[in-house]
Each structure stands twice: as structure tokens, then as C-alpha cells.
Chains A and B, each alone.
Chain A
């Protein structure tokens, strides 16, 4: 048997796997969603506010990523070979998780009728249609928490330009505030429902 250092390798491996988690946290999209760990079992059943349930089979379709690392690279490049492999692995996993996330978001939006088909570039009308359709969230003092745009960076950048333009147009600001005010009332009704009754 050749000399080996199993304990050192165990810790190194643990740290390398930890790096993939940290890269997921650093991802602009995935980092926005705090992960929730299911410690045991093979199913997660999510009960929605309307009483319906979604069952997630945890062992089906795991997200996978493949990375190739040659023996030559391992021998000659040392730790930088592993670093390259982990980076590639993390990117693959993050991409898989992002795809899965968008798929889940789309399915959820479709199922409750919250989906809007832009059929073209992002416009002020689409923005208002979005606000009308969504459930908006507010701080305890009633201040609107705003929106978080998620998507391809180019698409998000263009949408942000449109939203900035809305903020500069008093007429559009009034229209937006009117929608938000109506949503705030709906939110207040929802919050007032958090109670114990007979």
C-alpha cells in the first residue's frame, strides 16, 4: 500500500463540498432563496395557504453535474486541479438548481393563474399587469417591500430601465401607487385574519 493521509483528505473533501454550498449561496439567484434542509425521509409535502398540497419526491431527479479531471492534471497541477474541478462542479450544480427553480416557479405561477405572457419586450403595461396579478408584501408598518426581479441579467437590466422610467413619470407613479394602495388594503385584511376565533 502506498502512503496515504486519509484524515487530511477527509477534511479537505469536506471543505471542498462545503465550497459548492458557499458558491450556491453566492449565486445571484440561488443566494436570494434561503435553503431549507430536509434531514430525513423521502418526501416533502408542502401545504399551501389555500389548503392544497404539493408533494416533492426527494429521491427522484436529483440535480447532477459532471466534472472531468484527468490523472495527469491531478498529478501535475496539485490543489489547483481540484479548485478548477470544484468551480466547474459548482457552476453545473447552480445551473441545474436555477433551472429547477424557474421550472417550479413557472409551474406554481401557471397553477394559480399568476402567469403573464409578455409576448415582447418588458413595458410599463406589463409591469402594472404584474403588480395587479401578484400578492404584494409589506413591512409591519405598511411600507411596501418592493419587487425582486429574477431572470436573465440582460432581461432584468432592461426591465429595471423601464421601472426607473416609471419612477420618473408622475402619472405612472400615481398609477403604481394606486395599485400598491389597493394591495395594501388587501394585505391589511389578510393580516387582520391572523387570529384565533371561536
Chain B
């Protein structure tokens, strides 16, 4: 039945939409991806450059839909570049021949096949490799073969897939449901051989890709980056659990990150345009959600900005600062789920040398949590287990009384936020905040197995709660926060630190004291890593 859905998806998608799933399918077939065009139009006609398992260099130009003679005439120049220009990719000699592929998810129509054949023959006579054309049938076989035997077979799993596949793609990503689809697959990979594991992981990424691509089509870029991060988390779970050789999972993980960067670029371009982040669909209700949107957008923009080459993107960083200043006033803190978004923003400001701004962002979060817990009738602040959408439902009276929860007297994030200030020597600020903090029960969840950090919900682990000692020692605190123990954090996050912020932004309840400190260490260099 998946075949039918795949056919349906493959027929609808455009060339940009199937580019990354196509690469995942190539990986599953044993290809090594050497280059993926990030901007849509491939350099020298080459959207993807890959090496086949037998060592042959292959180049691919992707097209969407049927190709009739007029279409062929339009694209012939690009295809000539594909065939005739050498591959310019680091590590590949420009003299090395390559097999060019014209790929379409449609069919060649009318006189196009004959014309393409004539040009292909002519190029061969002139010493170039023969152009191969992969049409819909070849492409769908590639995708299906890529899954091998790793597609979930149960009806329940299929139902989950269909529900996600037919969702509302303008809404937030249903993370619990996506985790419910991906996690059983990754758990089932335990103990697979190094030869089977790459295909299993590529199949998982491909399956997720069918869903994520539809969010991309709807322009819902935050859902896209979250979906890609959840897919990466499923792979990181397997990598950490089985101590996998990077060769086994890195091809798939790298593709996911390339896609994430591309999606973040699209998102940033949209967010940095215009004079506000208002969404005018059902616009009268937008003020009810605007403040939460600001926090989310600022968090992901910070991740985007931190990924940029600091020298190349100065203008964009400056522009982001202006937009951040404009919008920060409109933010509305809704719960402890805001913490990783504010942490990301603070880390970016810190890197920009705007340390006072960075510290004010962190201070704002601490004051918000303390204010929410002040007084006899305090209701507390929703925990990081409450998504932005859920908190907005609560704030707008959309939950039944039994669906609410008592948050008073507890905090999951204030200790992490105070640690950030301690690392920046803000002793006076911490001194003022400390008495109120001691009234709170500080909560910190740690999974038993480090790989389980990457699960949406972890069944084995301990939640530590308790009020801190009333009298805190600054020097002890300084010393405690000055380092992060490598043994406490997943090894794969140290190997692939670029995933840390996307992970915390997508899984805000995982931004515990240890992983918040890791972010401060890896990004701001405010703590050292120790054994």
C-alpha cells in the first residue's frame, strides 16, 4: 500500500521537493553523495553529484513533470552543461569523466525522446559520456528499492503514516505523532549489521521525507526543520545506542543537515523581510498567538545566524539584530518551553559581542518564572512538556478543567538559566534572584541511557526534584558551572554539535541543565568539556 502512496507523492512533487529524498534513495543504493545543490538550480547543470558503489562518478539534473519537445528545448542548455562541463567538487579531479543523468518524476512525451536521443548520440560522438534518462518508472523503483524490507509493515504503523501524510501542513508539526512513527523504526534497527544499517536509516529518512516535503510545499519551514531534526534524532539514537561507525550513518545525517540549512535559509529570508511577523489569515485572532510566534522565530533565526560564516554574513547578522530588537518587544513568554529559544537567542547575541543584551534575555526568562510563582495563589509557569500550542490553548480557555495541570512551585529551566548568568559572572543579578529561587522545587530529568535523550518520551529515567539549599556558595557554583562532563552528554552530540541547537529547539523538554550547559560550552565557549 505504501507503493500507492509513494506513487501519489512522486507524481505531485516538484524537482526541489524530491531532491533530498532522491539523495537518500541513492545513499540506500550504495552511492556516496559528493555534492547537493543548496539553491535549487544546480551549478553547471548538476543538482547532485554522487559516486556509485563501483566508483563511477555520476551527475544528476532533476526535473519535475513530463518533458515534451517545447520543455526539452527550454532545458537543453542546462542539460548540455550537465553533460559537457566537468565536475567541480572538492576532492574530484576535473579530468575525471562522469555519467550524466537527466531525472524526471514525469515521462518523456511526443517527439522529446527522439530529440534527446539525437543530442545524446551527438555528445557521445564528441567524446562525452552518454546521457542517461531516468523517468518516473525508474525513479519510483529507486525509491521503493531504497526501502528494501525496512518499511513498517503493521497496519497501525501504516495508519500513523497516512494520518501524518494527510495532515494539515500549515499547522505546527505533530511531533508526538511523528515520533510515534519514526521511533519504533529506529528501535527496531538495534543490532543490525553495518551493511544493513545504512539502508535502514536511509529508508527511515526517506519515509519521513515524504511527510516533511509536504510541509515544505506549504511553506511551513519551521515544521520542515523540526521534522528534519526529528529524523536526525532517530538516527542519532541508533548511532549513540550502537556506537555506530560514522560511515554507517553520516551520509544520511549529512543530507538531513544540508536540507535543514537550505530550509533555514528560506525561512530566514522570509522572516527578515517585511515589517512584522503578522499572519493575516484569520488575522483578528493573530494578536493571541503573535507573542509566542516571536519567541519561536527568534530562536530559529538565532540558530540560522549561528550557522552562518561570521565574516561572510555580516550584513545579514546586522539586519537580524535590527529585526530582533523590533520584535523582541512584541514577544510574549508563555512557558518554560521558551527556554531553549531564548538560550539560542542569547548565545547568538553573545557571539555578536552584545553580552548585555544576551544576559537581559536570560534574566527576562528567570524573572518570568519567578513572577509566575510569586504569592500564595500563584499558578506557576507551564512546564517544558507543554508545547506552545498547548499553552496557547490553555491561555485562551480552550482546555477542559481536567486537562490543566498544576505548575506552581516547580521549575525545569530556572537553574539552567541561572547557570548561564553564573558563567558570565553576573553575581549581583544572581544574588538578587536567589532568595525567590530557593522557594521553587527545581526539576531536572535525565534518561538512564544517553541514547534515549533522542526519544520524544523516555520511559527509563529519573526526574530529580527538590528545593535547593537556602544558602548557595558563589565559588562552588562558579566551579560547578565552569565545566561540562563529557560522560554526561550523548557522544554523538559532541561529534555533530551542529545538531545541538536544532535538537533543543525541537525537543525543548530535553534542554535540561546538562544540555543547556553543553550549548553554552560548544557555542559560547563559556564552559570547558572535561572527562
Contacts and interface: CB of A to CB of B under 8 A. Distances in A.
A121 to B, nearest CB: 33
B95 interface: no
A115 interface: no
Given A194-B434, A196-B472, A197-B473, A41 B463 contact: yes
Contacts of B460: 41-42
Interface in B420-463: 427, 430-431, 434-435, 438-439, 445, 447, 457-463
Interface string B358-385: 0000000000000000001000000101
A41 B458 CA distance: 6
B474 interface: yes
Interface residues of A, number: 34
Nearest to B444: A45
Contacts of A191: 435
A71 interface: no
B178 interface: no
Interface string B379-422: 00001010000000000000011110110111000000000000
Interface string A38-81: 11111111111101010100000000000000000000000000
B11 interface: no
A181 to B, nearest CB: 22
Nearest to A47: B466
Nearest to B385: A39
B465 interface: yes
B473 A40 contact: no
B407 to A, nearest CB: 9
A47 B408 contact: no
Interface string A142-165: 000000000000000000000000
Q: With a 10 A CB-CB cut-off, give which of B410, B435, B462 has the most chain A CB atoms.
A: B462
Contacts of B401: 18, 22
A5 interface: no
Q: With a 10 A CB-CB cut-off, give which of B402, B438, B474 has the most chain A CB atoms.
A: B402
A197 B463 contact: no
B318 interface: no
Contact of A18 (B400, B410, B467, B469): B400
Nearest to A20: B402
B475 interface: yes
Interface stretch (A29-37, A103-111, A171-179): A29-37
B470 interface: yes
Interface string A85-97: 0000000000000
A198 B473 contact: yes
A114 interface: no
A24 to B, nearest CB: 10
Q: With a 10 A CB-CB cut-off, give which of A41, A48, A195 has the most chain B CB atoms.
A: A41
Interface string A122-150: 00000000000000000100000000000
Given A40-B461, A194-B435, A19 B402 contact: yes
A99 interface: no
Nearest to B380: A34
B88 interface: no
Contacts of B383: 39
Contacts of A38: 463
B293 interface: no
Nearest to A52: B466
B431 A39 contact: no
A195 B438 CA distance: 9
A193 interface: yes
A36 B471 contact: no
Given A22-B402, A41-B445, A47-B464, A196 B458 contact: no
B53 to A, nearest CB: 41
A34 B404 CA distance: 12
B237 interface: no
Given A40-B457, A46-B466, A196 B430 contact: yes
A101 interface: no
B35 interface: no
B436 to A, nearest CB: 8
B434 A196 contact: yes
A19 B410 CA distance: 25
Contacts of A17: 402
B402 A197 contact: no
B459 A42 contact: yes
B509 interface: yes
A40 B453 CA distance: 12
Given A34-B406, A41-B460, A46 B465 contact: yes
Nearest to B431: A196
Nearest to B401: A22
Given A42-B461, A53-B466, 11 more contacts: A17-B402, A18-B402, A22-B401, A34-B409, A35-B406, A36-B406, A45-B465, A190-B470, A195-B472, A196-B434, A197-B474
17 contacts: A18-B403, A22-B402, A34-B406, A40-B459, A40-B461, A41-B460, A42-B460, A42-B461, A44-B462, A45-B462, A47-B465, A139-B376, A194-B471, A195-B434, A195-B472, A196-B431, A198-B475
Interface of A: 15, 17-19, 21-22, 34-49, 51, 53, 55, 139, 190-191, 193-198
